[in-house]
Amino acid sequence: MTQPFVLYAAPASLYSCKARSYLRQHAIPYIERAPSHPEYLERIMPANGRWIIPVLETPSGEIIQDTVNIIEYLDALVPAERSAIPRSPVHQCVAYLLELFGGEGLLRPAMHYRWDFDETNIPFLSKDFSSMFLIGGDDAAREASFVTSSARMRFATTAFGVSDTNQAAIEASYLEFLQLLDDHLAGSPFLLGGIPTIGDFGFMGPLYAHLARDPYPSVIMKQRAQRVWRWTERMNAPTQDASEYGDYPATLFADDQIPATMTALLRYISEEFLNDMVAQVNAVESYLVDHPEVLEGEVVLGKPSRRFSGMTSFAWRGETMNVAVVPYRVFMLQRLHQAFHQHDVGAQARIREVFEASGLDPLLDIRPSRWVLRENNREVWGPLQSPSLLG
């Protein structure tokens, strides 16, 4: 009998949810282990050079870290008609954009609603969140573990831009997003039609792991966006699980089109996230200018465990948002560029038309003088190129 995959992950982990959802949607046999499992501590963490989840171990013993690489590996094993990466040009680039926004642009509401409502969330989180650091253990041990780990997450919440002065604006932004997504899901069970794409899996991380599971935000989602709540259930199912849509075809929207509700959602992403990404790219370029000694293939920031390279700021909802610079986001943007440039001139024109209609077309052009790439489960600098910057 073939050995199952092993997913080192945790229920509360945003990115673990993204990988787990893919395995469940495609009914791929796997077992899940906490990162406190001896096998993770003895073999997996040393191989990756850092404590990080999720990590997938294949039946042949290959170790794959990062949801992008995990899903790409698994996607090569499923039938082509079930691929999470659309083949049609517009759908493909929109899916990459949605994956980028889901994993990075929704971090602020995800972290705010987890860590700024202690009275409601902590009785749940103190046990649920600590489960990734302890196997077994009594309540006292779990509480001690939670105090240490939650302090790091509260620091990250601030690094992603959440402050005492902008929490109300973050909540207003999230409620607007929920309404737009709920309206869109009135017409289709998934973001681009009748099957999930990488865009759905990108959204699933924050929307399920934080915003549908944690006590305080879960009530908001159920009360205000029932279709979004149902979508999180659907994304954890091994079938389409879309009876409320009738016999909806298991295909993407016809003729590489997107409906008006998706265009509205893309406009929201432009308003909320474009300035953030422009600031991130500019800040990474400033880092590269200040470090001309950087070489192609070198680990980004010198160590795999280093995620931030300083701070940057941008205009958001009438105020200045201060955030950490996350070079990994340049890797995610590079995937969109790669998808765009693999298509012919006619297809590129159709893609650009869709992005221009929502104000997102700058994302097809901005780039630093080195992309961030991934090799051997690490982020590394790519070759030199001509930068294209805004602002």
pLDDT tens profile 178-194: 999 999 999 999 999 99
Closest CA to 32 of 135, 176, 157, 183: 135
* DSSP character at residue 14: H
CATH topology for 5-78 is Glutaredoxin (3.40.30)
Please report the pLDDT score of residue 141 as a whole number.
80
How far is C-alpha 289 from the geometric centre of its chain's CA atoms?
A: 28
Q: Measure the CA–CA gap between 282 and 62, rounded to whole angstroms.
A: 36
Residues 6+ apart with CB under 8 A from 212: 218, 221, 229, 232
Q: Can you tell me which residue has the tokens 């995990």?
A: 70
Q: CB–CB of 144/133 below 8 Å? A: no
Q: Measure the CA–CA gap between 35 and 54, rounded to whole angstroms.
A: 9
The tens digit of pLDDT for each residue in 108-139 reads: 999 999 999 999 999 999 988 888 888 877 77
pTM equals 0.96
Share of the chain above pLDDT 90, in %: 92
Q: At residue 8, what are phi and psi to the nearest 5 degrees?
A: -85, 110
Q: CB–CB of 104/200 below 8 Å? A: no
The tens digit of pLDDT for each residue in 72-103 reads: 999 999 999 999 999 999 999 999 999 999 99
Helix (H) or strand (E) holding 38: helix 38-39
| DSSP string over 96-136 | HHHHHIIIIITHHHHHHHHHS-HHHHHHHHHHHGGGGT-SS
State the greatest distance between any 2 C-alpha atoms of the chain, in Å, as a whole number: 62
For residue 100 the two structure tokens come to: 């980028």
How far is C-alpha 33 from the geometric centre of its chain's CA atoms?
A: 21
The tens digit of pLDDT for each residue in 268-297 reads: 999 999 999 999 999 999 999 999 999 999
The tens digit of pLDDT for each residue in 3-28 reads: 899 999 999 999 999 999 999 999 99
Q: Span 26-38, mean pLDDT?
A: 96
Domain span(s) for CATH 3.40.30.10 in the chain: 5-78
Specify the higher pLDDT residue, 142 or 341. 341
For residue 63 the two structure tokens come to: 């170790």
Domain span(s) for CATH 1.20.1050.10 in the chain: 89-256
Q: CB–CB of 112/225 below 8 Å? A: no
For residue 337 the two structure tokens come to: 């560029």
Amino acid identity of residue 168, one-letter, is A
Please report the pLDDT score of residue 1 as a whole number.
45
Dihedral over Cα of 65, 71, 76, 77: its sign: positive
Closest CA to 352 of 329, 331, 336, 368: 336
Please report the pLDDT score of residue 35 as a whole number.
94
Tell me whether the omega of the peptide bond preceding residue 54 falls within 30 degrees of 0, making it cis: yes
* DSSP character at residue 57: E
Q: CB–CB of 350/340 below 8 Å? A: no
CATH topology for 89-256 is Glutathione S-transferase Yfyf (Class Pi); Chain A, domain 2 (1.20.1050)
Closest CA to 207 of 188, 186, 234: 234
Residue 57 has pLDDT above 80, yes or no: yes
Residues 6+ apart with CB under 8 A from 95: 84, 85, 86, 191, 192, 197, 198, 199
